[in-house]
């Protein structure tokens, strides 16, 4: 009983944290001034929030699991399910930042100008010449 | 004119809403989808649910219905996909060399390319094998769990499209050339139809997988049907993979299969 309560609380906290980050990402996507900062918000917020939400699901699956020898024998499939969910987390951690990077790169090469305080302060032009 | 259209739409909509009252109740046992009409015999779905396991030994009834009970349907669905790919080929593909030929030896088909692509290249190198392995799993497990030839083929094709998107089209074409994908698409249909014709050699009907029992050397006809379904799914997966990539390659490069997006 106490185990179930703890698991519910932990998973709810994780999912709620994820939703807060989702909100941050959505607000950033809408409110930031230019393409690059928007992508920054979407890339970072999305990655962490989906990671937290899926991790919350993984923890929630422990409801069906008993931490005894018989529990391991009977409910091994719960561990398999958790492994798959963690696999999804790993995939998101790899792919989401990469796609953000690819989009940024494409934007840079398509001459999208970042919003700057001083127009000539764009140091990137020297370090990363456009193709 | 607008008002006329509005009146027509409202009339059609109200007719449709009126027809809803003739629907069977939600979850009603006597609806044709659930238990069949009262007084009539067993419904088709009931037959599938009760007999699939004994007749085909396939746990996934959907696959059994698709690949065996409605084998013709699925075969020609695959042919439709091939026809779609061929239509796109016929419309878009530029076979004349309008520009001077590009020196192929200069193109570097490695995934990493120049150093600016190193993040994308590394991710591709990491992910594409996993995606392809998962696609093969979806194909091979199609008759035991959700999945099958179409789904696995789409995933496999998407892995090549991902490579084409992340680097450039030449890099993807270097790994899956035009000759290969058009050939593979036809081989897929050939495998499917081949399993059908194979049954005719034993004096049974086209696509009657039970006749293949001597070839697969199984205990009974049901297991032969199960194996034949797997073979058919592999054929579907071939065609879908090849056509997915063919459509992407032709659309992305306006039929020139150069540069791409």
Nearest CA distance, B112 vs chain A (angstrom): 14
What tokens appear for A57 in the block?
Answer: 């699901």
| B229 lies in some domain | yes
String of DSSP letters for B138-161:
HHHTTTTSS--HHHHHHHHHHHHH
| CA–CA distance, B154 with B103 (Å, rounded to integer) | 32
Could you give the CA distance from residue B128 to residue B171 in angstroms, rounded to a whole number? 14
Number of structural domains in chain A: 1
Does residue B165 contact residue B189 with C-beta atoms inside 8 Å? Answer: no
Cβ of A94 and B166 within 8 Å?
no
Mean pLDDT for the stretch of residues B60-69 = 88
Kindly state whether B123 is in contact with chain A, defined as any CB-CB distance less than 8 angstroms: yes
For A111, phi then psi, to 5°, come to 65, 40
pLDDT tens digits, one per residue of B86-135:
999 999 888 776 666 555 556 666 666 666 678 888 888 889 999 999 99
Residue B199 has pLDDT above 90, yes or no: no
Kindly tell me if the per-residue pLDDT of B35 is higher than 80: no
pLDDT band for B193, please (50, 70, 90 cuts).
very high
Q: What is the mean pLDDT of each run of 10 residues along chain A (131 residues)?
A: 87 94 92 89 89 92 77 80 90 90 85 76 70 63
Query: pLDDT value at position B197?
Result: 92
Give the nearest chain B residue to A100 (CA atoms).
B120
Whether B123 and A95 lie within 8 Å, measured CB to CB? yes
Among B116, B117, B125, B165, pick the best mutation site for testing chain A contact (most A Cβ within 10 A): B116
Judge whether A116 lies within some domain.
no
pLDDT tens sequence across B144-155: 888 888 999 999
Distance from CA of A90 to the nearest CA of B (A): 11
Q: Domain of residue B79: give its range.
A: 43-98+109-252
ipTM: 0.76
Split at pLDDT 50, 70, 90, the class of B36 is low
Asked, for residue B8, whether it belongs to a domain, the answer is no
Residue B29 is assigned to a structural domain of this protein: no
pTM greater than 0.90 (yes/no): no
Q: pLDDT tier at B34 (50, 70, 90 boundaries)?
A: low
Q: Which domain holds residue A70?
A: 2-111
In a domain, A122, yes or no: no
- Which residues in chain B are contacts of A105 at CB distance < 8 A? 116, 120
Residue B216 has pLDDT above 70, yes or no: yes
Residue B2 counted as domain residue: no
Q: Does B104 touch chain A (CB under 8 A)?
A: no
d(CA A36, CA B153): 36
Q: How far apart are CA B131 and CA B6, in angstroms?
A: 49
Helices (H), B101-220: 118-140, 149-166, 169-175, 178-201, 213-216
Tally of domains within chain B = 1
Q: Say yes or no for a CB contact (<8 Å) between B123 and A105.
A: no
Asked whether residue A126 is domain-assigned, the answer is no
Which pLDDT score, from 0 to 100, does residue B213 have?
A: 86
Inform me whether the C-beta atom of residue B105 falls under 8 Å from chain A C-beta atoms. Answer: no
Task: Show the 3-state SS of B62-90.
Answer: HHHHHHHHCHHHHHHHHHHHHHHHHHHHH
Average pLDDT, chain B: 85
Backbone phi and psi for residue B170, each to the nearest 5 degrees, phi listed first = -60, -40
A83 within some domain: yes
Please indicate, yes or no, if residue B9 is contained in any of the structural domains: no
* Residue A39 DSSP code: H
Distance between CA atoms of residues B139 and B134, nearest Å: 9
CA-to-CA dists, residue B77 to B80, B81, B108, B129, B207, angstroms: 5, 6, 38, 28, 15
Answer yes or no: is B37 within a domain: no
B220 within domain boundaries: yes
Residue A121, in any domain of the structure: no
For residue A47, being part of any structural domain is answered with yes
Give a yes or no: residue B260 inside a domain: no
Q: Find the helix packing angle between B221-252 and B149-166, rounded to 10°.
A: 30
pLDDT of residue B38: 60
């Amino acid at each position: 009983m106490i185990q179930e309560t703890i698991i519910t609380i932990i998973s709810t906290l994780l999912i709620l944290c994820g939703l807060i980050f989702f909100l941050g990402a959505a607000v950033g996507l809408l409110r930031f001034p230019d393409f690059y900062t928007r992508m920054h918000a979407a890339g970072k917020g999305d990655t962490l929030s989906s990671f937290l939400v899926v991790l919350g699901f993984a923890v929630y699956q422990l409801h069906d699991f008993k931490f005894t020898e018989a529990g391991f024998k009977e409910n091994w499939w719960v561990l398999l399910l958790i492994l798959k969910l963690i696999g999804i987390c790993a995939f998101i951690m790899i792919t989401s930042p990469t796609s953000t990077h690819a989009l940024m790169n494409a934007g840079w090469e398509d001459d999208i100008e970042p919003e700057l305080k001083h127009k000539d302060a764009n140091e990137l032009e020297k370090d990363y010449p456009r193709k | 004119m607008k008002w006329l259209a509005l009146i027509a739409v409202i009339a059609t909509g109200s007719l449709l809403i009126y027809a809803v009252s003739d629907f069977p109740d939600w979850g009603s046992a006597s609806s044709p989808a659930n238990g069949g009409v009262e007084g009539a015999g067993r419904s088709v779905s009931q037959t599938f649910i009760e007999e699939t396991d004994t007749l085909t030994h396939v746990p996934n009834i959907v696959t059994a219905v698709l690949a065996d009970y409605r084998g013709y349907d699925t075969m020609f669905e695959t042919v439709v996909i091939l026809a779609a790919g061929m239509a796109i080929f016929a419309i878009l593909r530029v076979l004349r060399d309008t520009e001077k030929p590009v020196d192929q030896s200069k193109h570097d088909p490695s995934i990493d390319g120049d150093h600016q692509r190193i993040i994308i290249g590394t991710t591709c190198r990491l992910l594409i094998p996993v995606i392809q392995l998962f696609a093969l799993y979806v194909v091979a497990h199609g008759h035991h769990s959700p999945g099958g030839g179409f789904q696995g083929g789409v995933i496999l094709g998407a892995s090549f499209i991902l490579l084409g998107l992340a680097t450039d089209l030449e890099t993807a074409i270097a790994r899956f050339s035009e000759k290969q994908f058009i050939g593979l698409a036809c081989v897929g249909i050939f495998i499917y139809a081949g399993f059908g014709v194979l049954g005719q050699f034993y004096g049974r009907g086209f696509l009657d997988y039970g006749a293949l029992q001597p070839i697969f050397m199984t205990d009974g006809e049901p297991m032969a049907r199960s194996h034949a379904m797997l073979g058919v799914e592999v054929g579907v997966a071939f065609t879908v993979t090849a056509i997915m990539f063919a459509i992407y390659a032709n659309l992305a490069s306006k039929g020139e299969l150069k540069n791409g997006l």
